[in-house]
Chains A and B, each alone.
Chain A
């Protein structure tokens, strides 16, 4: 049984602009997404900004409610949970956000902030809280003596460690990490990524790792999904996706990765042009206006989401 099963998940946002007097323009941020995640595994989600990857994370966390589709988590209907039931089950799915500074209440001492989930979910008292806080700080590599400090007294990397400490405090089964390192210096990024990996191995958590940096995603993920205008266009085991990408968009993204030191220098290409407005997505294959391999049918016929090799799915007529 999969840890997480997502089926046809869809979210539209209404814009204030109107199409007509009666109808508002809408953006389909997440468009009929389906995927599974096994216990203890990591699914990386990559895509350009605005492709809907953050909305996907929020939908899974139920910070935003989907318009349609289903999510099963730990074998139960996750979307059916309401009110207090949902709040008490949130302990099983926690998150790490992009901006660790803004994600911490500036007037709360960090010891309180990282143990607050334990207070509400396990009813910890003051003594238990202090003990748990010390242990958590140690788990994420921060000095226990810093518990009574405020968030602004920490560096960016330390703050993200605090965010991670808070997220793993309840021993969740699934961690949703939305761009957890993109606001950090490169030198700090590796430490945070390793920390996430260590904690995942220790607790056997599943992870949804959302990022725009392909190298980071490759390092973190077992499976990688490439997102474009609210859909997955390719999903494959990490190695397969990076060595033999099938979708032209994936290939374009991969060609844009700067070569690592020691690698052959090459022309960085990347996908041409800008992604089209998600409020007016192109007909047929959403990628066709930017696709170098475009054929007539791409303009009218949306490609199917099909398995081309075991575990390797693509939405492209030509793959």
Chain B
């Protein structure tokens, strides 16, 4: 029953994915500039023949529809083509960049939910208290700081002035050839500022979301019923309020799946973090069409997958959901 539901939902997402790739493909190719101009415009002596040869080399001389169709056919065989820049396969580029992003966002996600959920619950239970108000106010302030501002601020204060953490990069040159413990410690040390930047806005969001969800549940009639039964506040919170208040959090978790793997263009670029975000950014700057499309498809698939996962989780934990 559940399996059939999952399969049906997965099937419905195929046209969605096709649409995403088609639009991305068109936007990418219609945007001003091309791989040829990126390579040729700096050379004043380039001849029209060379340009034509370059276009043929990249297959850009064919009609757009043919190019898309070719790309789609290759994708069906899990071949996303080769990068224009170094002729390495797109897949190998992605696999190289993936671990760094997974590490950064995995740690950030743990922090976001590990800190955000308890804070939100606490804030809701003590709603109206000075602590709750202070939290609500400060979370609006925190939420309105853009990631790139925060990133530069952290780099300046903790990197440049105090010198506590490295400003950018994944590891230090000196750690090469050291024991694995020293290497791991070095990576963790590099992780602090990017994780901070990634988690900062999100954990406030999660906490506010959890706070509102808990408040909503606490006002429900069955909570009043639970009090009238003679239950203590702890049992009411743990047995009646939380299981219901956590339901909407599933959506948030589902939505964070693509971010977990897709990485952030801005944060990874600022911190020179060798992950998916920076890969995508550099690919876009170089008009590396196959690589950009690879990153886009990856992001699209994960977004759809995250939503699917959230819906299936709902069906599993909420007895009211029909499928």
Q: Which residues on A are within 8 Å of B, measured CB to CB?
A: 61, 63, 84, 86-91, 94-95, 97, 99, 102-108, 116-117, 120-121, 150, 152, 163, 166
B228 contacts the other chain (Cβ, under 8 Å)? yes
Interface of B is mostly: helix
- Contact yes or no, B229 A104, CB < 8 A: no
Chain A proximity of B248: nearest CB distance (Å): 13
B96 contacts the other chain (Cβ, under 8 Å)? no
- Contact yes or no, B244 A106, CB < 8 A: yes
How many A-B pairs fall under 8 Å by CB?
Answer: 67
Residue of A nearest to B232 (CB): A87
B226 contacts the other chain (Cβ, under 8 Å)? yes
Please indicate the chain A residues that have their CB under 8 angstroms from the CB of B225 in the complex.
95, 97, 103-105, 163, 166
- Contact yes or no, A152 B320, CB < 8 A: yes
Task: Known contacts A150-B319, A152-B319, A152-B320; decide if A104 and B231 are in contact (CB<8 Å).
Answer: no
Residue of B nearest to A150 (CB): B319
Chain A proximity of B105: nearest CB distance (Å): 30
Please indicate the chain B residues that have their CB under 8 angstroms from the CB of A106 in the complex.
222, 244, 318-320
CB-contact partner of B226 in A91, A105, A152, under 8 A: A105
Q: Which residues on B are within 8 Å of A, measured CB to CB?
A: 220-222, 224-232, 235, 239-240, 243-244, 317-320
Please indicate the chain A residues that have their CB under 8 angstroms from the CB of B226 in the complex.
105, 116
- Contact yes or no, B230 A87, CB < 8 A: yes
CB-contact partner of B221 in A89, A97, A116, under 8 A: A97
- Contact yes or no, B244 A120, CB < 8 A: no
> Can you list 24 residue pairs at the A/B interface with Cβ under 8 Å?
A63-B224, A63-B228, A86-B230, A90-B230, A94-B228, A103-B221, A103-B222, A103-B224, A104-B225, A105-B240, A105-B244, A106-B222, A106-B244, A106-B320, A107-B243, A107-B319, A108-B239, A116-B226, A120-B231, A120-B232, A120-B235, A121-B230, A150-B320, A152-B320
Give Cα A166 to B221, complex, Å. 14
Chain A proximity of B154: nearest CB distance (Å): 41
Give Cα A105 to B230, complex, Å. 15
Residue of A nearest to B220 (CB): A102
- Contact yes or no, A105 B222, CB < 8 A: yes
Chain A proximity of B213: nearest CB distance (Å): 14
CB-contact partner of B229 in A102, A150, A166, under 8 A: A166
Give Cα A117 to B221, complex, Å. 16
Please indicate the chain A residues that have their CB under 8 angstroms from the CB of B224 in the complex.
63, 97, 103
Please indicate the chain B residues that have their CB under 8 angstroms from the CB of A116 in the complex.
226, 229, 231
Give Cα A63 to B224, complex, Å. 7
Give Cα A95 to B243, complex, Å. 24
- Contact yes or no, A104 B222, CB < 8 A: yes
Give Cα A103 to B244, complex, Å. 14
Please indicate the chain A residues that have their CB under 8 angstroms from the CB of B244 in the complex.
105-107
Please indicate the chain B residues that have their CB under 8 angstroms from the CB of A63 in the complex.
224, 227-228
Please indicate the chain B residues that have their CB under 8 angstroms from the CB of A150 in the complex.
319-320
* Given A102-B221, A104-B225, 5 other A-B residues pairs in contact with their CB atoms under 8 A: A87-B231, A102-B222, A106-B319, A121-B230, A152-B320
Residue of A nearest to B320 (CB): A152
Residue of A nearest to B321 (CB): A152
Residue of A nearest to B243 (CB): A107
Chain B proximity of A54: nearest CB distance (Å): 11
In this complex, the member of B220, B222, B229, B320 whose beta carbon has the largest number of chain A beta carbons within 10 angstroms is B229
Residue of B nearest to A112 (CB): B239
Chain A proximity of B127: nearest CB distance (Å): 16
- Contact yes or no, B230 A117, CB < 8 A: yes
Please indicate the chain A residues that have their CB under 8 angstroms from the CB of B230 in the complex.
86-91, 117, 120-121
Please indicate the chain B residues that have their CB under 8 angstroms from the CB of A166 in the complex.
225, 229
Give Cα A102 to B232, complex, Å. 20
Residue of B nearest to A100 (CB): B221
Chain A proximity of B238: nearest CB distance (Å): 12
Please indicate the chain A residues that have their CB under 8 angstroms from the CB of B317 in the complex.
107
- Contact yes or no, B221 A90, CB < 8 A: no
Residue of A nearest to B230 (CB): A90
Chain B proximity of A94: nearest CB distance (Å): 7
In this complex, the member of B226, B232, B318, B319 whose beta carbon has the largest number of chain A beta carbons within 10 angstroms is B319
Chain A proximity of B322: nearest CB distance (Å): 9
Give Cα A152 to B321, complex, Å. 10
Residue of B nearest to A169 (CB): B229
> Can you list the 9 inter-chain pairs with the closest CB atoms, starting with the nearest?
A90-B230, A102-B221, A150-B319, A87-B230, A105-B222, A103-B221, A103-B225, A117-B229, A152-B320
Give Cα A239 to B284, complex, Å. 86
Please indicate the chain B residues that have their CB under 8 angstroms from the CB of A94 in the complex.
228-229
Please indicate the chain B residues that have their CB under 8 angstroms from the CB of A107 in the complex.
243-244, 317-319
